[in-house]
Chain A
Amino acid sequence: MSFNAVITWWTENTRLIELLVDSLWETIVMVFTSGFIGFAVGIPLGVLLHLSKKNGLLENTTMNKILGIVVNIGRSIPFIILLVALIPVTRFIVGSSIGTAAAIVPLTIGAIPFIARLVEGALLEVPSGLVEAAQAMGAKPMQIIKKVLLPEALPGIINAVTITLVTLVGYSAMAGTVGGGGLGDVGIRYGYQRFDATVMMITIVILVILVQMIQSLGDHLVKRVDHR
């Protein structure tokens, strides 16, 4: 009975289903593209924040302060405001201020300081004795970063990646404001603005599953690389 109901609903709503599949794809593109670019910039930034600290490997308190302020500014602007404020930048980079590609720019810029702070925290957990041991062995600063700090902080960094991706799924819902599409956008437009509770429920369920999958995969990877 209920199975037949689902079938009927399915055949009667092909357009809606197409819309859901498309927006799921848009969400995935937005989250993972901005995530990857964000990691490419945010991880080195986090490393730099950690190293330039007082008593750090490449102590430079002036640079550390400047980086810290920039990162904090990035983190204090509400994402919805960032989205709008960055429109000129987006137009310059992507050539348009609307669409999925356009949403990726603010998502990336929002993610970078977030990732940087998380990575900094992960590096902080590496015992300072290990860096000291590496120095005593005659390791150069770059070798210490590549062979000691990053591998030792890897479980924490993967954790940071997971948290960031999940956060980006949330942020991407706001991307609808600039025509970025995505599941969150569908949920808001169909569910919230048109009072279509079914569509809203469906988008929420899909989002829950997506977040659940990202988290499980992250946890699994942490378990694999964590030998502490």
Chain B
Amino acid sequence: MIEIKNVNKVFYQGNKAINALSDINLTIEQGTIFGVIGSSGAGKSTLIRCVNLLERPTSGQVIVDGVDLTTLSEQELTQTRRKIGMIFQHFNLLSSRTVFNNVALPLELAGVAKSTIKSKVEDLLELVGLADKRDVYPANLSGGQKQRVAIARALASDPKVLLCDEATSALDPATTISILELLRKINEELNLTILLITHEMAVVKGICQEVAIIGDGKLVENGTVGDIFAHPKTDLARDFIRSTLDLSIPADYEARLQATRTENSYPLIRLEFTGASVDAPVISHVAREFDIDISILSSNMDYVGGVKFGLMLAEFIGPEACANKAIEYLKEQKIELEVLGYVI
């Protein structure tokens, strides 16, 4: 559905050339939800804006639904863009128009008859759950409601592709989940191809089937979400996965932490379960087998694309020899393990 071939984008800051995108190749199949993740400044925003040519690539091809957009004339491009919906981080609703008239705008632009517009817009408002807000101005809506209006507006011209430019980055976590639910629903009901960019791995984990990781204008890694989570090949991918878990040591433990083992102190251990780890109830097994008590301080386990992964902080309470044997055993089970120190 979307093919990005050898796309380069160079910006000039005075005489200095900045490679915002270098040699990007991506293929997105019809009906998939595809996520592009990267830190700010990585070029992901430029990439998504190249897909509808809001930003013209310096070189390369962008093929949407079989049409190479880079070869189109200005008029043809305007027509083609009507089949590519887009939503934005800051919603970009017209403050001068009511919810109804905002959703009606793309249809007005295409010269659709008034009666058709009315029924179409009402259906869309029903779909996004805002039928009762039709005559309200955007200023009186919450962020989540504004993004729903923007989604309805993007869907008005029956697009084949929906581009989401950091669509949930300005929303709180609960609203983010509800917007992602809505995107999943329209993906299923309308068989719409969705390309979304984000800096939050949680968003990718939430709804994407495939993901590409972009860093410094280059495509670092891409594949199905399950694969990337299970076998991240690059440090950048590992960092993003870890960012969804984020376990930090509580401050009072941090204060009691010492580098060497003394009398009455126990190791504080960070365990990292990845796709490679053995899928077995290892914690209770270790406790039984090596006769130690395991006190879990905090834990963040998740299940994505058939893979269990996560981080855990735990104290291994028991004699030094037993604890060491337990650590050896866990390492054999392909659990990445780090002794952070010893807690008194």
Contacts and interface: CB of A to CB of B under 8 A. Distances in A.
B88 A138 contact: no
Contacts of B290: none
Contacts of B137: 227
Contacts of A139: 78, 109
B313 to A, nearest CB: 42
B17 interface: no
Contacts of B153: 137
B81 interface: yes
Given A127-B92, A129-B88, A227-B139, A137 B82 contact: yes
A53 to B, nearest CB: 18
Contacts of A152: 94-96
A227 B137 CA distance: 7
Contact of A135 (B54, B79, B90, B157): B54
Contacts of A133: 86, 88, 92
Nearest to B83: A138
Given A136-B81, A136-B84, A143 B109 contact: yes
A28 to B, nearest CB: 31
B133 interface: no
B105 interface: yes
Nearest to A131: B92
Interface string B64-97: 0000000000010011111011101010101111
Nearest to A227: B137
A16 interface: no
A143 to B, nearest CB: 5
B109 A227 contact: no
B104 to A, nearest CB: 11
A129 B96 contact: no
A223 interface: no
Contact of A147 (B78, B80, B82, B108): B108
Contacts of B78: 138-140
Contacts of B86: 133, 136-137
Contact of B81 (A127, A135, A143, A148): A135
Interface in A212-228: 225, 227-228
A124 interface: no
A227 B95 contact: yes
A132 B95 contact: no
A138 B96 contact: no
A57 to B, nearest CB: 12
A129 B109 contact: no
Nearest to B163: A136
Interface string A117-132: 0000000000101101
A129 B82 contact: no
B31 interface: no
B94 to A, nearest CB: 6
A137 B157 contact: yes
A46 B139 CA distance: 27
Interface string A132-161: 111111111001000110011010000000
Q: Which of A136, A139, A154, A228 has the most CB of B within 10 A?
A: A136
Nearest to B80: A138
Nearest to A129: B92
A138 B110 contact: yes
B145 to A, nearest CB: 15
Q: Which of B78, B96, B163 has the most CB of A within 10 A?
A: B96
A137 B109 contact: yes
10 contacts: A133-B92, A136-B84, A137-B81, A138-B106, A138-B157, A139-B78, A139-B109, A147-B109, A154-B96, A225-B96
> 10 closest A-B pairs (Cβ-Cβ)?
A138-B82, A133-B92, A138-B81, A227-B137, A136-B86, A151-B96, A129-B92, A137-B106, A228-B95, A138-B78
Interface of A: 127, 129-130, 132-140, 143, 147-148, 151-152, 154, 225, 227-228
Given A137-B153, A147-B108, 5 more contacts: A127-B92, A137-B105, A138-B78, A138-B79, A154-B96
